Every structure is written in C-alpha cells, then in structure tokens.
A and B are shown apart, each in its own frame.
Chain A
Amino acid sequence: MIFECVSHLPSLALVGMAKNVGKTTVLNRLIYENSKQGEAQRRLAITSIGRDGETTDVTTGGEKPRVYALPGTLVATAKVSLQNSDALLEIIDDTPCRTPFGEVMIASVKQAGFVELAGPSTAKELFDLKSQLQAIDPKAMFVVDGALSRLAAAGGEVTAGAVLCTGAAVSTNVEACVDKTLAVAKLLQCQQVERDVLAVLRKRFERAVALQKEQEKFAFTTLDAPTLLGKQEAVTSLISPNTTALLLRGAVTAEVIRPLLASGKLKQKQLVIEDGTRMFLSKEILAQIKRQAIEIRVLHEIELCAVAVNPVVPLKATIDSTLVVEALTPHLNIPIFDVGRSWVS
C-alpha cells in the first residue's frame, strides 16, 4: 500500500523523473487507497506545478490517465481546467495565483470524477496555496503533482515528503533507468546539515556562501548573483582552506560543479544545496564528488517515502519493471512499487 508510506505526511510531492512516468497513476492509487482507510482516511488537497492531468499527452498525442478525484477532495486548479473536469466541483474560493489557463480556483469535489490539474508554478504561489488550503482544512494532506524539473524550478521546501516516479520513460534500458533513478533518489535522500550550520545558512540568501568555523564561531564569505552560471570562478575563490561548507542556492548543474571539482578546493568539505531536487548531475560527476570525499547535504530535507516504477510509455516502449524494482531494492531502504504489475490506472 503506497498510501501507508505517506499517510503521516502533511504534504507530499509526486516527483516525476520524466514525462509519462505514471505520476497520475500513483496519484489515483493514493486517492483510491485513501478511500479505503475508513476512519484513518485523510482529506486530500491536490494541485500540480503547472498544468497536468490532460486527457492527451501534449508531446505524443496519446491518451493519458486522468486524475479521478473522490468526494471531499480539495482541488486547486485554473479556471480553464475546472471546465475541462467532469467531477462535480463546488467552487469555494479563489486565489491570487494567475496561470496561462486563468486564475487558480479552489473547489471541493461534491461527486467523484476526472479533474484536470493546472496549479501555480512558483514556490511562493505554492506556499501561499498550501496555506490557503490548510486554512480550509488544517488536517488535509497537500499533494503536489510535479515533474522534477518543475519542482526544481519552483524551489525547495514545498513539501515534507516525496514519491519518486520513474520507469520506461526515463530509459528503456534497465541499467540506465536504475542508474538515473538511484542518482536522483540518493540526492533526494540527502541528509540535512548539522543544526548549528543550518541555523547560520538558513539566514543567508546569497547565491553562494562559504562557511568557516573558527573557535566555535562561524564566519562566512558570500557571493550574490542572479544565477550560478558564469560565476564558477568567483564561487571557487570563496573557498579557503578553512572553509567547512559551501552553500549553493539554485540549480546545481554539471556546468556549475565542474570548475569546483577541477580546483580540488572542495575536497573533504560539505557541499550544501537547498534540497535534493536542485541538483542535476550525471553518474560520472557524482562519482567524482565521491572520490573527492565531498559530502552533499541539504538545507531542507525531503522524506523520500517510496519509488514507483512505470513499465510503459504511450508510444508502447516498455521496460521490465520487475528487473528495475529488483535492481533498486538493495540500494534504497524504502518501498518500491511496480505500477504496471499491481495497479489498474
């Protein structure tokens, strides 16, 4: 039961590693399993980062599973998507969030049916929406349907937990699919920095912060810039032999990290990122980081609750999900679900 893995959370992100990895199937499964919980049933408040839940896939034109919402569920979606939904929706509030599909409205499902989700696209809007939904029902579980790339763009600290969705859409080669999934899963499972370091870094909003601990006191040098791109040299120059940790805010890509690794200045130090969704690195670079004994830590820990593997993609390419599940299991101490084997979407 995937719901058992997440039922304790106040908020949850369904993180898709690519399009068509079965996020909607996972969401439907959560809704279904939740409905069977009796008194332990949670009220769900669902939305997406950007638009999702359309009946056809925008890239392939193929038919996609749709979110089937049950009575009582709160839905936050844009005006146009409300009209594209066939569940009986009682509109209960508006929000200040505007999307290309109109203002995001909040509705309560009166009678079950399919809903199209088109929610906010920035972290601030998501936070505000979460607060608004939790004001309507403080016990509701806020569930965000969001691709990894969109979640990363929105910024971290959106949800307390995540389910990682992977499968044939990531790669039809079992080994490649497993490698990529493990890399993301490991990043999502990154540990939070120590409490004293966290207390200092949480208050620093610059793009890069190099922290030194001198006689039990912290000192730091900082760099502020709209993006880390093009600032690699300046970031490298922040690191001194006494630096204990380097915080990088925003997306940390191969381009950003390569000069740092080449300089060797980060060896045996901590590299701190906002959360596990903010890092996009290949297996090779992650191996290099490991060789230099660089420890990756996060400011906001996300509880990775489960991995869901979808064996198919709309153009009929498939992967043997059993093999993927088997290969992932020894490396991750969390439940791994085979979407194709046990679930009906």
Chain B
Amino acid sequence: MNTLAYQFLGLNEKALAEVGFVEIMGALPVKSPFGKTVATKPRCYVRSELNELKHYFSCLANLLELYQNDDLVFSQTVMEMSHLREVRGSLLRLQEGDNVLDNVEFFELKRFLHGASQIAKETVLLNNADIVLESFVALQEALDPEKTGVMSFYIYEAYDKELALLRSAKRQIENQILGDLDGAIRRDLINQRQTLVAQEEQIEFRIRQKLTSYFAPYADALINLARSLGELDLMIAKVTYAKSYRLAWPSILPDAKVMSLHNGWLPKLVTTGVRVVRQSIDLTGGSTVLTGANMGGKSVALKTVVLNSLLVQTGMPVFAEKLQTPCFDGILYSADITSQMGAKLSSFGAEIMRLREAIELSDAEKWLIVLDEPARGTNPQEAEAIVCGVCDWFRSRTHFFLVATHYNIAMSNLTARYQVRGLSRSAIPECESDEKRLFALASAMDYRIMRLESDEPPPHEAFCICEWLGLTKPLMTKIYQKWEQKHGDIEH
C-alpha cells in the first residue's frame, strides 16, 4: 500500500465521513478485533494495482458463491471470528523483547491460536478468499503441556519438576490449614505457606520467561496471522453485507473511457428518511458540469459518484444497480477543503489552493476530481470565468472532472453537461408552516439528473424557491423587476 492509498487517494477523514464511507465501513459486520482494524483502515487500490484489485473482487465473487451454496461454512467461521479476542498488545510486547508475558496473556494467546487453527480448517473458504493462515502447532503444544486440549491456562506442573514438588508440599500445608486449629498454629502454617508461595512465584516467573522467549521469534508471524484473520473477517463481512443490502459488484475495465453509474444512491439518505432518488450518469475523461436548482440534489449526486468510486477502489460492493468504471489514481473531492487548509486562508483561498493541486496532477495519471460549486464565495462574474476556465482546462485532460455549478458554462468548454430536472411548474400550494412548505417543495422537486445536449442557460429556479419558501408577493415583484431591468423578460 502506498502513501496515497493510505490517505484514501487524497480524501481526508471529513470527506470520507461526508460521503458516508466511514459509516458504511463501521456498519460492516466484522466480528474480530482484527477485522475491525482492517475495516477502519481498509486497503485502497490505485490504478497501478488494478490486477490485484480485480483479483480481490474475483475472490469476493467466489466467496459470495460459496455463501449462497453453503452458508454453514460461513456461519462456523463467523462464530470462530466472534470468539477471537485482542492479542496484538501482547504480540507487540513479544516483539519489543524485554517483557515477560503474564498468565492472562498466555491464556489469550492459547485461545487465539486455537481459534485461528479452527478457522484454518475451512480450506475451501480460505482457498476462495486466497488467504493463507499459517499454522503454529508447536506454540499450541507449548501452552498445553499436559495435552488435555482444554482451552484454559495456568502454569502447569508439567513445565518443571521442581514446581510439581513444591506445589505438592504446599498442598499438604493448605490441607492442614483447613483443619480445626487454634489461631497460632494456623498463622504459623499460613506463614510456612507464604514462604512456599514466594518460591512458587519465582519458578512460575522463570517458566513464563522461558515461554516468552519461545514465543518471541514468532511475534512477527503471529501479527501477520492476526492481520490475515482480519482480512478474512472483512471479506466475509463484505459478502454478507452486500447480500443483506442487495448491493452490486462493480465491473472494473482497465482502459475504460467512461465511468458509467446506473441507478446509484447514497445510503446515508436512506437512514435519514429522505426520499432517495437513484441517479445515473456517464462520466468521461474531460470536464462534466452538473447544473440545477438549489435544493435539487446536486451535492447528493456528486457524493453518490464519489462514494461509489471510493467503494470500488477499496474492494467493496457498490450502492448502485450497475457500475462500470476504470480504476483511478486518486479521487479529489471539494468537501474537504477547509479542514485541510485551516484558518489561515479564506474558503475561497483554500479552494484555489486545492484547485491548483488538481491542475498540477500529471496527465499521465487518471484522477476523479469532483468539485461542488467552486468559487461560490466570490464575485459571481469572476467566479463564472474561473469555473469556465477550469472546465475548459480539464476538457482535454485524462482526468474525470465533475463540477456542480449554477454558472452558465457553454458546451464548448465541456465534455458533457447534466442538469437536475428540478421543480415542476405546478401552482405553489398554501402552507401554514415552514415544515409543510419544505415538504411540498421536496415533493414538487424532480431530483433526477438528465444529460443536456445544447447550450440552454440554467433554469431560474432560485426565484421559484423564493416563492415556494414564502417570500411575499410585493418583494418578489421587486426582485423580478430588478432582473428584467438588467436581463430582459423572464418566464415565471
């Protein structure tokens, strides 16, 4: 994994949260602490790792098929996964070298090794997932010197003859302590026992030291085992998650010129109870503009594109009926601008800095660059020129540049242009509360996006929304007069 992948191809935590990626990864039904770690920082593949990503998806497809044919294998493995407990703290202590593990740590390691060995028996599952779980029989035997197969642990007498003798002597005293004795004799016996306890603790410490030294050379391999278990846990979680939510698996085409999203949606909206509209869009290298009414769902459409691309590159099922896509070198999304730049720059300044980053990306690479209403915070005439210029600049580039804007960008500067269908021209209903007004507005809004082939100017839906949200008639008359004085007649 390269640095870029670790940063999720250029997206920071705020952007990941905003598109709903963090929530989705948190909802994956991983069972083990190792799976939870991998789900928090999943591997993100870039274009140069396309073959690995395709192989990963083919493994997931195999697992899905296995799940559909034999879910018992899955449920057994999931159960074993849920029994796995955190041992990486102890493994790191082993790696450090100067620690001696305690009894609880050996108990946990014993159960960890047992759990891993049980999962390793599911060879069909592991082959399908292309995951190898190393076996550590010698270590398991070291923690079960009496070969009972019981998953408990203490420092067994079998480790040391001296320990066995000492405990036997101690047991005799302990039996006497239980007799009906007067206080003085009893206290004396307790003191005798205490002396033996001190010796016992020394021997036990020596044994734990030996066991720790025996385990230490395996620390790296055991950490790898935990990671592999985490990877397997995550793969199983992805497959069961995809099945539960009826998600699709993407097609990744190495040299695809088009990213074709069919009926994609933003799962975040489903949980908020908002009406979810599925969007379809074809993006190509060059620049694509999405225009449309305020509150018309432009931002949601952009997020749907970003989220699904991100899911593809992290080997996840997608929230769409179908998605064909190339593998990108990275994704830039404008939502994360302010947090990256901090308080030193205005939001406009920060946007421009980020834009420069996008402009400076090499033409040898292929990025998905998504900007939501860039330059909205500055003088509109200049802003329009900026957006127009940037679109024109990206028009002939390899990157897939998608921008939502209210500005009228001529087709000559673009590769494609989309528009939210927007408000229906029905009469505005009388509403007694803001809540009802908003509901009526949402009902009248057609959130679907459509491709435009001509240079139509964006609709003047800001005025409509002013009316829907209850600006008074005299004020609206004034607003229309001002517009007409400057731009001529408007249809309303």
Contact = CB atoms under 8 A, between A and B. Distances in A.
Given A83-B102, A112-B177, A344-B183, A92 B171 contact: no
A68 B153 CA distance: 21
A94 B85 contact: yes
A111 B103 contact: no
Given A88-B154, A89-B154, A94-B85, A111 B102 contact: no
Interface in A64-122: 68, 70, 79, 82-83, 86, 88-92, 94, 105, 108, 110-113
Count chain A CB atoms within 10 A of each CB in B154, B167, B171 and give the residue with the most. B154
Contact of A90 (B102, B154, B193, B197): B154
Contacts of B170: 111
Contacts of A70: 178
A35 interface: yes
A83 B186 CA distance: 25
Given A83-B102, A91-B104, A108 B152 contact: yes
B154 A110 contact: yes
B178 A79 contact: no
Nearest to A103: B104
B214 interface: no
Given A90-B152, A344-B183, A344-B186, A113 B197 contact: yes
B174 A91 contact: no
A115 B102 CA distance: 17
Given A35-B178, A105-B104, A111-B174, A90 B153 contact: yes
Nearest to B177: A112
B167 A88 contact: yes
Contact of B154 (A91, A94, A113, A344): A91
Contacts, number: 46
Interface in B142-159: 151-154
B107 interface: yes
Given A35-B178, A111-B174, A91 B167 contact: no
Interface string B124-151: 0000000000000000000000000001
Interface residues of B, number: 22
A91 B103 contact: yes
Query: How many A residues touch the partner, as a band?
Result: 20 to 34
Contacts of A88: 154, 167
Given A82-B103, A344-B183, A111 B152 contact: no
Contacts of B154: 88-91, 110
A88 B182 CA distance: 25
A92 B183 contact: no
Would you call the interface of chain B mostly helix, strand, loop, or mixed?
helix
A205 interface: no
Would you call the interface of chain A mostly helix, strand, loop, or mixed?
strand
Interface string B94-128: 00000000111001100000000000000000000
Given A90-B154, A111-B171, A111-B174, A82 B197 contact: no
Contact of B174 (A79, A105, A112, A344): A112
Interface in A32-59: 32, 35
Nearest to B110: A91
A169 B183 CA distance: 23
A86 B197 contact: yes
Contacts of A113: 174, 193, 197
Interface string A315-326: 000000000000
A111 B178 contact: no
A91 B197 contact: no
A85 to B, nearest CB: 10
Given A88-B167, A113-B193, A344-B186, 12 more contacts: A32-B178, A68-B177, A82-B103, A82-B104, A83-B102, A86-B197, A91-B152, A92-B151, A94-B108, A108-B152, A111-B167, A112-B177
Interface of B: 85, 102-104, 107-108, 151-154, 167, 170-171, 174, 177-178, 182-183, 186, 193, 197, 201
14 contacts: A70-B178, A82-B103, A82-B104, A90-B154, A91-B103, A91-B107, A91-B152, A91-B153, A105-B104, A110-B154, A112-B171, A112-B174, A112-B177, A344-B183
